Amino acid sequence: MAYNYYGVSGWTELDELGDRKALNVDFFAVKDVEGKPSWVKLFEYDAATGSLSEASSK
């Protein structure tokens, strides 16, 4: 099993399951914005702190 990987975004550390370590994630949904469907960020996950917070751009 690999413990790191060099890809498009550079060096990446992998955990014991082969998933990226310390991966920050943004969660989006399609919402109606001024009559048009638009991607809107709802939440942000910070891997360093393990926290999930509501995005300020709702």
Residue 14 located in a structural domain: no
Strand intervals (E) in 1-58:
4-7, 10-13, 25-33, 36-46, 51-54
Q: How far apart are CA 10 and CA 2, in angstroms?
A: 15
Residue 54 located in a structural domain: yes
Residue 45 has pLDDT above 90, yes or no: yes
Residue 6 located in a structural domain: no
Task: State residue 1's pLDDT score.
Answer: 66
Residue 35 located in a structural domain: yes
* pLDDT band (50, 70, 90) for residue 48: confident
Question: Residues 27, 41: contact at Cβ < 8 Å?
Answer: yes
Residue 38 located in a structural domain: yes
Residue 8 located in a structural domain: no
Domain housing 32: 22-58
Residue 37 located in a structural domain: yes
Question: Residues 18, 2: contact at Cβ < 8 Å?
Answer: yes
Residue 9, both tokens: 């975004």
Q: Per the structure, how many domains does the chain have? A: 1
